[in-house]
Amino acid sequence: MYSDWLKNLKVGDLVLIEQSGPSQGIGKGTVSEITKSGNIRVGTTIYRKEDGRERGGGSYYWKYLIEYAEKRWQKELERRTRLKYLNFINEHNLRNLPTVTLQAIAAIIESDAAVQEAEKVLDKTAQM
């Protein structure tokens, strides 16, 4: 599964790095070295040639290489942006906002729901 694309990696190739734990998510890196034993260095970390998992580490958390795909990277950037805004909103007590501000927020949410519903209808129409 992993070995085909891992075997073909060259210095300068882009890869994605998935990480578990509190810092879970996907990062992007560039292959900086293929070691004499065939392992892959990205930045200061060495990954196993067999499966792309981080060598050593010995931690409960893990990192491993994923074949680079721009669509997947863009999805990760969207996830990070979304989390940033959700955390920002979560840090504020909405109960303390003036009524007019709450009405504006509700209007935005209702508007977004209407747009999403319209997009579903358009998708169904396009599939016909």
Would the pLDDT of 128 be above 70?
A: no
Place of tokens 């209407």: 114
CATH match of 3-70 with 3.30.200:
no
Distance CA 32, CA 19 (A): 19
Mean pLDDT of 96-121: 85
27 vs 126, residue with greater confidence:
27
From CA 91, how far away is CA 95, in angstroms rounded? 12
- pLDDT at residue 17, rounded to an integer: 95
What is the mean predicted confidence (pLDDT) over 54-60?
A: 75
When pLDDT is averaged across residues 56-81 and rounded to a whole number, the result is 88
Task: Please give the Cα distance from 51 to 6 (Å, whole number).
Answer: 8
Burial category of 66 from C-beta neighbours within 10 Å (exposed 0-12, middle 13-18, buried 19 and up): middle
Tokens of 63: 């990192």
* % residues pLDDT > 90 (the chain): 48
pLDDT band at 57 (very low <50, low <70, confident <90, very high): low
In this structure, are residues 41 and 35 in contact, taking their beta carbons and an 8 Å threshold? yes
pLDDT at 43 over 90: yes
The reported pLDDT for the residue numbered 77 is 94
| Residue 119: predicted pLDDT | 76
pLDDT of residue 81: 94
Length of the chain: 128
pLDDT of residue 117: 81
Cα Rg for the chain, rounded, in angstroms?
22
